[in-house]
Amino acid sequence: VAQATTERDLRQHLYEGITAFGQTGVRPVTVNTATRCMQAFLNWLLEIEHIERPIKLPKLKVEERVLRVLSMEQIANLNHYVPKNMCQRRIHAITVLLLDTGIRTSEMLNLSPQEVDFKTRTLRVMGKGRKERMVPFSQLAGEVLFKYLAERKTDCDYVFATEDGRKLDKRNVLRNIKQIGRRCGIPASEICLHRCRHSFATQYIVGGGQVVQLQKILGHSEIETTMQYVHPQMADTQRDHVR
């Protein structure tokens, strides 16, 4: 590959590289991910004045798909599920909290009892990039969570932990949440951990919430990321249907 000696050469090489990468058969979203990395590098070159003018790399068009989320009826069934034992009570509390707050699975697994404030009904969550934020939760989620914590026998560093106080394994949580889903009449293929986050985001907008506030709750640094979680047309349609 010839070395770029001018900004024009650099621009041309980058465009040719993106085109060649796209012709290898990878998905457009994969090409765009690589493009974002190169764009960040170009922005840095401009910042240190290694190049004089900004170089904006083009992105490929990506097929727009409507995100699959849980229905309001399915969410209600999960929220009002009656656990039969402590293991079910724990996974039920996890499910309700994920659907009620939209926090990430990693944030839920790392949550400590000290970060739950039942008086103000807020969670202090440490998100990506070590960015801390406050996330509100509802009275229903508070009642489910309080009852779970009151009945568990182990005092440990995590809100949701194994019987011996260790952090839960994500795969086991996924397996258990699918089990409780089946008991609520939800096929295993229709429920997963991240879909709870998508479902919360969609229902938040359907309920009249603002995207800017949703961005803060989800812990996104860019509003574009938040918009990927909510299909505006679907949210508008559901809101009108509820009315």
> What does the block give as tokens for 79?
């929220």
Distance CA 22, CA 153 (A): 55
Catalytic residue among 89, 92, 104, 178: 104
Q: Where are the beta strands (DSSP E) in the chain?
A: 116-117, 122-126, 132-136
Distance CA 232, CA 229 (A): 9
- CA distances, 81 to each of 54, 56, 78, 148 (Å): 55, 51, 5, 14
CA distances to 31, 54, 202 from 2, rounded to whole Å, are 22, 22, 48
* pLDDT exceeds cutoff 90 at 59: no
Report, as an integer, the average pLDDT of 58-87: 85
What order of strands is seen across the sheet that includes strand 122-126?
A: 116-117, 122-126, 132-136
**Catalytic site includes residue 198:** no
pLDDT at 209 over 90: no
Residues 50, 84, 182, 194: which is the catalytic one?
194
> pLDDT-derived band of residue 113, with 50, 70 and 90 as boundaries?
very high
Q: Which of 80-85's residues contact partners 24+ apart within 8 Å by CB, and which partners?
A: 81/180, 81/183, 81/184
According to the model, what pLDDT value does residue 97 have? 97
Over range 214-226, report the average pLDDT.
88
Pick 230 or 128 by higher pLDDT: 128
Q: Nearest CA to 200 among 229, 223, 166?
A: 229
pTM over 0.75: no
Identify the residue whose tokens are 């240190």.
48
Q: Is the pLDDT of residue 2 over 70?
A: no
Catalytic residue among 36, 128, 131, 216: 128
Look at the block and give the residue holding tokens 């939800």: 186
* 194 catalytically annotated: yes
Average pLDDT, the chain: 88
Where does the pLDDT of residue 50 fall: very low under 50, low under 70, confident under 90, or very high at 90 and above? confident
When mean pLDDT is compared over 19-28, 48-57, 176-185, the highest value belongs to 176-185
Give φ, ψ of 128 to 5 degrees: -65, 145
229 part of the active site: yes
What is the length of the chain?
Answer: 243
Q: Is the pLDDT of residue 236 over 70?
A: no
**238 pLDDT tier (thresholds 50, 70, 90):** low
Tell me the pLDDT band of 68, cut-offs 50, 70 and 90.
confident
Reference 168, options 223, 98, 227, 91; nearest CA is 91
Active-site annotation holder among 178, 197, 198, 231: 197
